Each structure stands twice: as structure tokens, then as C-alpha cells.
Amino acid sequence: MRFLTVLGARPQFIKAAAVTRAIAEHNRNHPERPIHEEIIHTGQHYDHGMSQVFFDEMEIPAPAANLNIGSGPHGAMTGAMLAGLEREMLHRRPDRVLVYGDTNSTLAGALAAAKLHIPVAHVEAGLRSFNRAMPEEINRIVADHVADLLLCPSENARRQLEREGITRGAHVIGDVMYDAFLHYQAKAIVPGRPGPFALATIHRAENTDDPARLANILHALERSPVPVVLPLHPRTRKILDHQGIRPNHRVELREPLSYFDILGHLRACAFVITDSGGLQKEAYFAGKKCITARDQTEWVELTALDANRLGGDLSGDVDALFAWALSPGVFHETLYGDGRASVKCVEILLNAGFQQDV
Ligand code: UD1
């Protein structure tokens, strides 16, 4: 069976690494029923530190093609990806298309496959922020509504799909990011810095593109009781450079971290401050509290357990948030599967029967 995997942005490389490993495991165990996977990189993320380093570290097979569509307005970017992916799908004739998460690459991949009647699986289906001002919310709603297989990280996500009338093809598999987190623990690169620190990332358009919000967030980071390590997404770096903003010495700016570096920083940090979806979960996996610099989160299981608190733009009582983040938390509940989500994903893709298969 032929799988075509659409990737483009950093978190998708991590998710796909887990599934690609599960495909290799399947091929070892079932040589009579091999899966041939081809990766198409849209090029949405293109800096070495945002893309290639993940392929290298996690030994993800090189993409069969790179569409080199990075940057640009959303419509132009998604439209160009749609055209490019359609061409690749027509040429490669896959039996299944896999898309991950909620980026423009996800939307383009899901639409291209659906229009060609190729069964498409959406990994990380059923998540909602209920905030349609976020590009990610539009991407995930459309992807879920055109996908044939909806692979949900949690029961909450599956129930959300049900509320939207989607029941066929929906499965709870757990989170493939958890699989990756467990598997690559031994490779974590723990930073050698002395003393406690907080790990922070800020990259969401809703935060970076609103100068007042960005200023509030940076101001809060400067007040942190422990130094803050802030690896900068290129979007955030460009905006800080453009506006001539330099946070005070409390905030240590870094280049984007590789996956093994992130795992090491998660292990060593006191707590996490982020607007990333992936890092909110990874903080929980690592047993660290997370202050989320957003007004909503899709990962409602984390806030329900009080492992994660929403801080908006951190202009409220941030000292109380820091005190909470430094106090002990409870992390023993298994929220997102058993570390075998990617194996389940592959089994479901193989065993789901579609008209197109005959
Ligand atoms: C995208 C996703 C977001 C996800 C994030 C993960 C969409 C709408 N958003 O946001 O959901 O959380 O990826 O990181 O798909 N840039 C570089 N070098 C790179 C990558 C980006 O300079 O390697 C620049 C781009 O040129 C652009 C900005 O960063 O100016 C934003 O990149 P873009 O891919 O549009 O969205 P992200 O903010 O990365």
C-alpha cells in the first residue's frame, strides 16, 4: 500500500517521525504487506533549524519532493500548496494521504486528497479552540470535515467531532507526539546551564502580530522569578528586530532549538511558558507546569488537571501565575494514550476499507 505524507511545519516533522517509525515496524513484521511511504514537504518551514535538523535527528526519510512554498499570505501559500500537492498526488497515485495538525500544509494536503478522492487521514483530529480568528482553527475544521479517517488524540476530541456530525472514520488513538517524546528521551540534550530557569516560546500570529500583546508577554517574561530561556521562532525574531525590541537580561534569547534540545530543556526547566500547542503537551509529559500565553487552549485535559493555566497575554496577575508554576503539580494521569498511537494510526490506515481500494 502506498502512503503519501504531507509535511511542512516543525511540529509535523515530530509527529511524522513517530508514524514513520511505526511504518518501518510494520514493514519488518509484515513483509508480505509492505507500506511504501513518500513524504512531500511543502516547504512551509525552510530554515535549517526549523526543518532539516528534525529530519536529521529523528532520521525521517528525505522527502520525495519539496514544493518550496515558504512565507506569503495565507491564501497564496495554501493555494500554491494545493496546486503542488495535487500534481504530486496525481503523479504518485497514493492509496492513502496522511496530514497532521492544523497548519496551512494540513489544509492544502487534506483538500488536495479529498478532491482527488484519495482516502485522507487527519492525525490530531477533533481539536478546537472555538476561536475562528486563528488560522489554525479554520485549517483544522476544514481538514476534519473533508478527511475520511479522523485520528483523535483524546476522547474529548472524538466527542467534538460527533457534535459536528462526524462519526464515520473517527478513532481515538492517543497522541503521536507522546510516542515521539517517549522514544527519543534517551537522546535528550540537557543544557549545561547552572540554576533553575523557565523555558518559553512565543510564535502564534495572535501574539506576535499584535504589538500590545507581544509587549505585555515580554514584559511578563522579564518579571519571571527565574531566568527565561526564549528560543525565537523566525517570525518572532523578525518582529522583535523590526520593532527594535530587546528584552532585559532576565530573558535569554536563543536560536530555535532542535527536538533533542527541546527534550533536554524540558527535563531541566522549572516550568514552561508558551503559546505552542505541542509544547503545552510536552510540558505535561515532562512533568512540568505550563503557563499558556493564550486565551483558549485546544488541550483542555491539561487545564482540567490544573497542569496548565491560561494566562492570555500575561497582563493579569502574572506573579500569581509564576508562584503557581513553581509549586508542585500532579502529572501521573495518562491523558494521551499509551505511547503506541502511531502503531494504531498505521493499523487503522491499513485496515480501513475504501471503495477506491478495489
Ligand atoms: C505555522 C503554523 C502554526 C504552527 C507553527 C509551528 C499555519 C497557519 N501556522 O506557523 O499553526 O504552530 O507553524 O511552528 O500554518 N519563517 C522563516 N523560516 C522558517 C519558517 C518560517 O523565516 O523556516 C518565517 C516565514 O517566512 C514567515 C513567518 O516565519 O514570515 C511565519 O511562518 P509561517 O509558516 O507562515 O507560520 P508559522 O508562524 O511558522
**Tens digit of each residue's pLDDT (9 = 90 or more) over 160-187:** 999 999 999 999 999 999 999 999 999 9
What does the domain layout of the chain look like in residue ranges? Answer: 2-175+337-357, 187-325
Give the distance between the most distant pair of CA atoms in the chain.
Answer: 63
The C-alpha atoms of residue 201 and residue 210 are separated, in whole angstroms, by 16
Ligand 1 interacting residues, C-beta cut-off 6 A? 9-11, 44-47, 50, 70-71, 102-104, 135-136, 203, 234-235
Q: Nearest residue CA, atom 9 of ligand 1?
A: 103
203 among known catalytic residues: yes
Q: How far is the CA of 273 from the centre of ligand 1 (A)?
A: 19
Residue 131 sits at φ, ψ, to 5 deg, of: -125, 100
- Record the pTM: 0.97
Question: For residue 188, how far is its CA from the centre of ligand 1 (angstroms)?
Answer: 25
Query: Does 98 have pLDDT greater than 90?
Result: yes
Q: Does domain 2-175+337-357 have CATH number 3.90.550.10?
A: no
**What does the pLDDT look like over 270-283, one tens digit per residue?**
999 999 999 999 99
Average model confidence (pLDDT) for the chain?
A: 97
Burial of 64 (0-12, 13-18, 19+ CB in 10 A): middle
CATH of domain 187-325: 3.40.50.2000
User: Residue 353 — pLDDT band, cuts 50, 70, 90?
Assistant: confident
pLDDT of res. 18: 98
Query: From the DSSP assignment, how many helices (H) and strands (E) are in the chain?
Result: 15, 13
Q: Active-site residue among 203, 219, 249, 265?
A: 203
H-assigned helices in 46-199? 52-57, 74-92, 104-115, 135-146, 155-163, 176-183
